[in-house]
Amino acid sequence: MREARLLPIEVRGEELKRPLTLSGRRAYLISLGDGSFVPMGWHIPGEMGGFWAPPLKVLNGFWACVGEGSWLMGDACKAAKVYPWLIRRRYEVKGMRLERADYIPKWEKALILTFNFKDVEPGTRFSVMFSFNLRPVWYSEEEDGKDLISYEESESLVRVRDERNSNWVSLLWSSRLPTAVELMTNPPFEEARGYLVELAYELEGEGSLKMIISATHLGLKGALLYLDKMSKTPLSKELRDRAREYLELARVNSLLTPSHAFNLAWYWSKVNLEWLTHYQPTMGLGVTAGHPDYPWFFGCDTAYITLGLLTSGMHEHAKSSLKLIGGYAAKADGRVPHEIVTNGRVYNPGDAEETPLFVRSVYLTYLWTGDRAFLEELYPICVAGIENYVLGELCKDRELPKGPGIIEDEERGKGFNLDVACYTYAALLSMASMSEEVGESGSRWRDLARRLKSAIESSFWDEEEGMYAERVVDGRRVFKGYWVALMPLEVKLSEEAKASRVFKRLEREYSGPYGLYLNAAKRKGFMPFINGLMAVAEFNYNRNLKGWRYLVKLLWSFGLRSPACFPEFYEEEGCYLQAWSSALFNYSLVCGLLMPTPDAGRRTLELSPWLPPQWRGFRLGRIKVGKSLLSVRVKRLGRGLSVRLKLDEGPPLTIKVSPVRMGLRGEEELLLLEGMEREVKLR
């Protein structure tokens, strides 16, 4: 196995018509591969692309032009190179070569553009047209007003503010003094809608042009601060720092396999999660759900995303995301909200599965990080959520919780939902373990989990069908072909015999060419993250080859809708970049290869390695477990395996290696000190 080149991803041909994301922690840009912009999205119809500095949209887009009517888009774009922190594009127009680079700083609400000119005749006219559209994020109370644009020649500065909301401000600065500035009323093409301003320049031959757009919803002073800082900071230093951060992202929990496709998708799945990480000072930092239509925070999504963040080594992202959601839950007696927009408003107070999912994620995060302060901060919120909402409202005087689950259909909210019940079971077990960690008894929680498991089996299991019903309404078991039938297997509630029957039906009747159907009865919809959950369920029951097939189908989605991105759906709908799809690829792959069970607080880790038949080995380097970094190299050894372990840095770890998933002998437990390397042979 050789180290493979993971970046940049080069985009050409038809792929240049696909959308791309570029982001920092405070702003993001959605453009097409060729550098142009089109209306996209449905939350605010046609308005979800362009440049956003949440909770404010700034630009519909911008377009550069050489001479009269030779726009830098379409066939003029020959290639784009996508780095995690930068997008470079190469254009050829009338024998002239031009390059454009787009960059967003990590912590500033700003967009930096640079244009480089080669083989350009002196006197050539070059212009950039900006389509401003200062407007609030979806589900805002403020009303959008007309954008007022002015130009200050002495500072080479375009000022834009909203007529109704004077604090909505954007500034546009260029490194050269334009020869003309025009407020345009007749757009040259349909996509150039909004409030248009064009800056024109006379080129002197080879050279460059730098432009900075800053924005804020808090007044002119903030926009000026962003602009001043970015105009004084050397761009080369900014780019070096960001490149260093993304290279460090590659070094922690780094995967090397015989498959370049897996290596590439693994790294970019982490990049996807970083791209969607957003910070609002009044809310905190968390991973948003997706682009273009879900660039804000969700309770359900955060719980699933956490799984991949933990196996990626992105532990601080996991903790901060859960703290953000938990802060809102604390204000609602522990009920975890479904949807929180970047203006701080809660759209949906929370579906019934979200509070249990949150509780499970808090416990898993503690197991991976060993962060006692994190546990002590969020444990009371978990208690409130289970006591007040789950037991107090959803269960009341019965064993089964009743409330709307993850499936959004016409019967949503009716009866008892399988996903809600299964995740409540997992949450109760998590509560038992967390209670013991903080010095309390977990017996009550375990007893509740035992009783709930019994109620799930008696209420949802149908012996004749050999299947768990997705919903129970008025005592009637409902089978509609939804993917949630896998939930008892994902949380390891089902006994082996029943699980085997369910798997056979899921694999035979609920699956299609791209994996598990969203709705098998309608033969409709494929979602990568569902394949990830199905793969994990298969791995839970040592059905490794079956799980691997679903994981490979999840891999097929990488780059399907956008270069370097995992999408929401395989079909041409939904988000082209979806966090839980990226996270479930990452998480299910680690489960398939190692099935890790960490307990960072006790400095222990259990591993049960497995190798796909086509692979001779793999390496997962610098796995973060608490404050320790462990590297694992697995190689085929005849009919057995060689597992080489090295503690790269940090406190000692006790590692237990189990061969059960390979049907081998040689279980071993060993203590590793920093710098120590040991080999375990499983035969």
- Summarised one tens digit per residue, pLDDT across range 557-600 is 999 999 999 999 999 899 999 999 999 999 999 999 999 999 99
pLDDT in tens, 162-216: 999 999 999 999 999 999 999 998 889 888 988 999 999 999 888 999 999 999 9
Give every strand in the sheet of 471-473, ordered side by side.
416-417, 471-473, 476-478
121 secondary structure, DSSP code: P
DSSP string, 432-483: HHHHHHTTS--HHHHHHHHHHHHHHHHHHEETTTTEE-SEEETTEEE---BG
Residue that the structure tokens 């050269």 belong to: 176
Domains of the chain: 9-245 (2.70.98.40), 270-402+411-593 (1.50.10.10), 600-682 (2.60.420)
pLDDT at 545: 96
For the chain, residues with pLDDT lower than 70 are: 1-4
Contact (CB, 8 A) for 611 and 591: no
What whole-number distance in Å separates Cα of residue 540 and Cα of residue 595? 8
Environment class of 52 (CB within 10 Å of its CB; exposed 0-12, middle 13-18, buried 19+): buried
CB atoms within 10 A of CB 617: 17
pLDDT at 1: 46
Residue that the structure tokens 């784009």 belong to: 80
Contact (CB, 8 A) for 590 and 632: no
Alpha helices for 570-678 (secondary structure H): 579-593
Q: Is the dihedral of CA 104, 105, 110, 113 positive or negative?
A: negative
What whole-number distance in Å separates Cα of residue 425 and Cα of residue 643? 34
pLDDT at 326: 98
**∠ at Cα 200 (199, 201), nearest 5°?**
130
pLDDT at 230: 83
Contact (CB, 8 A) for 644 and 668: no
* C-alpha torsion angle, residues 328, 329, 333, 334 (rounded to 10): -170
Relative to beta strand 653-657, strand 604-607 is parallel
- Nearest in space to 679 (alpha carbons), one of 661, 659, 657: 657
pLDDT at 4: 55
pLDDT at 64: 97
What whole-number distance in Å separates Cα of residue 598 and Cα of residue 595? 10
**∠ at Cα 113 (32, 562), nearest 5°?**
20
Name residues whose C-beta falls within 8 Å of residue 274's C-beta, 6 or more positions apart in sequence. Answer: 84, 246, 249, 314, 317
